[in-house]
Amino acid sequence: MIVFYGAPMSSAARTHWMLEEVGVPYEYKRLSIRDGDTKKPEFLKVNPAGKIPVIQDGALTLTESVAINFYLAEKYGKGLMPGDVSERAHVYEWSFWAVSNVQPLLLDILLNTMIRPEPERDLKAVDNARTLLPPYMDFLNRSLHGKEYLVGNRFTVADLNAASVIGLSAFVGVDLAAYPETQAWLSRLQARPSFAKSLD
């Protein structure tokens, strides 16, 4: 059985969703970052970097949510990772596009409008993120025109990874109605039973 170390409202959420999607048995060891669980000696034996998510699958210990999701897709995913090398390249492309470009902007807004105490908030970072975000949202919306999914027009780990990022937009006031293709895509993905189970 896979052992999964994670916490809600963190990058571990995308791994939780992926575990539900592939349907393998797992034990969820829920940690509290706020309470310092990731810095305790027993967890540091699992991941010396003190970060989540982590999975242990037999002898394998793996960190980094996107790497974990690629692994789960390849080992257990029943088509979630395409066999075709070109399609697989697009899976990597979309996953890293979301995590490298869009996620930092959404996190800047979240951190500086909701999470940090007011005296520590950087409003210039919020303004900068809100300026940089729309071109990425436009690009995704255009890319989804006439398509239900990002790669090969079928659900893959690329959709899950990207949706786990774009889903944060609801928390920072992005009006998804301005991006109807993206809104429909995100609604389609969040209607999957695996997504609902990962929120429990």
According to the model, what pLDDT value does residue 171 have? Answer: 87
pLDDT, residue 114, reads: 87
Range of the structural domain that residue 108 is part of: 85-198
- pLDDT tens across 106-127, in order? 999 999 998 888 999 999 999 9
CATH code at 28?
3.40.30.10
Last residue of a domain, one of 38, 55, 76: 76
**Same domain? 46 vs 144:** no
Using DSSP, state whether 32 is helix, strand or coil: coil
**Which CATH number covers residue 163?**
1.20.1050.10
Predicted confidence at residue 115, as pLDDT, reads: 85
Helix (H, G, I), strand (E, B) or coil at 31: coil
CA–CA gap between residue 145 and residue 54 (Å, rounded): 35
**Amino acid 8: pLDDT:** 87
Tell whether the model's pLDDT for residue 147 goes beyond 90.
yes
Task: Tell me the per-residue pLDDT of 121-145, one tens digit each, with 9 for 90 and over.
Answer: 999 999 999 999 999 999 999 999 9
| Pair (15, 107) in one structural domain | no
Mean pLDDT of the 6-21 span: 95
Split into its structural domains, the chain has a count of 2
One domain, residues 17 and 110: no
- Residues 51-72 have pLDDT tens digits of 999 999 999 999 999 999 999 9
What gap in Å lies between CA 200 and CA 195, rounded to an integer? 9
Domain end call among 76, 97, 117: 76
